[in-house]
Amino acid sequence: MYDMIVVGAGPAGLTAAVYALRANKTVLVLEKASFGGQITHSPKIENFPGTVRISGTELADRMVEHAISQGADLELGEVTEVSRDEEGFTVTTEDGSYRGKTVVAAVGVRHRTLPLTCADEALWESVSYCAVCDGAFYKDKEVVVVGGGNSALQEALMLSELCKKVTVVQNLPYLTGEARLIELVNANPTITVITGTVATGLLGNGTLERVAVKEEATGKEDSIPADGLFIAVGLVPDNDRYASLAELNEWGYFASGEDCLTRTPGFYIAGDCRSKQIRQITTAVSDGATAALAACRYLEQR
């Protein structure tokens, strides 16, 4: 029986683990994909206090190492169910189940997809959601990045260091990322920005050759030469399996406030899966600390 089970090993979950461990609690961290969460997909982080510049992978490695050094148990496994009884919680994964007196759900979000038409299934192999992971495959080639926020602009800037040409396609009439990123993108001769346009399909014979697009205002259809397509159009929560323990809002995010509490005693929320205005690493680690300390208070009052 662990004092705390943390579901999700992103910044929020790892911070929760560290705070609980420093309060002499036993902690298990469960992660379904890769330790570090979404930040492992960020090529460059420049707004995390204390680090002028760092890759997402390096920052994730440091956070994981910190949690392990404090005594956390880490396991890979996708959680399929969390149930509560008088003694605590049972967290069930595909490989087994674990018991915990408290649970912190720091389950993050997943990539939003696009309804693209595609007559050849092989073309999907040229679609990616991670420039860090797949950018090297397109060295000296042409790629399209769909999206206009921070993630899309960061992807475009990284790809511009490898690719012959990068075309950013944004559905709105303007880019929505930070001013500094927009400035860097506009000044980059390798990057072309097309606004007011949506990607509609994949074209090619065996391999991707072009990305079909359509102007939002006029409906005019066209296509852009591309060897690869990178999609960065936002994130969506995957919280339904926890709906019996915590309220969800109309968009599927946990309807928990800054206190990270839920309607279920001993069950807490942290990170991007929570309803909030700003989703950054700094707000995730803040949630992790808040949730962990709330769980510690609950344990001490039992």
pLDDT per residue as tens digits for the range 175-233: 999 999 999 999 999 999 999 999 999 999 999 999 999 999 999 999 999 999 999 99
Q: Do domains 2-110+235-301 and 117-231 have the same CATH topology?
A: yes
The tens digit of pLDDT for each residue in 31-63 reads 998 899 888 877 778 889 999 989 889 999 999
C-alpha–C-alpha distance, residues 18 and 102, integer Å: 15
How do beta strands 142-146 and 27-31 pair?
unpaired
Could you tell me the pLDDT band of residue 287, with boundaries at 50, 70 and 90? very high
For residue 40, the model assigns a pLDDT of 85
pLDDT tens digit sequence for 5-25: 999 999 999 999 999 999 999
pTM of the model: 0.77
- pLDDT bin (cut points 50, 70, 90) of residue 87 is very high
Average pLDDT over every residue of 285-294: 98
β-strand 117-118 against 127-128: which pairing, if any? unpaired
Domain boundaries, the chain: 2-110+235-301, 117-231
pLDDT value at residue 38 = 82
Residue range 2-110+235-301 in CATH 3.30.1130.10: no
Query: Residue 35: what pLDDT?
Result: 93
Fold of 117-231: FAD/NAD(P)-binding domain (3.50.50)
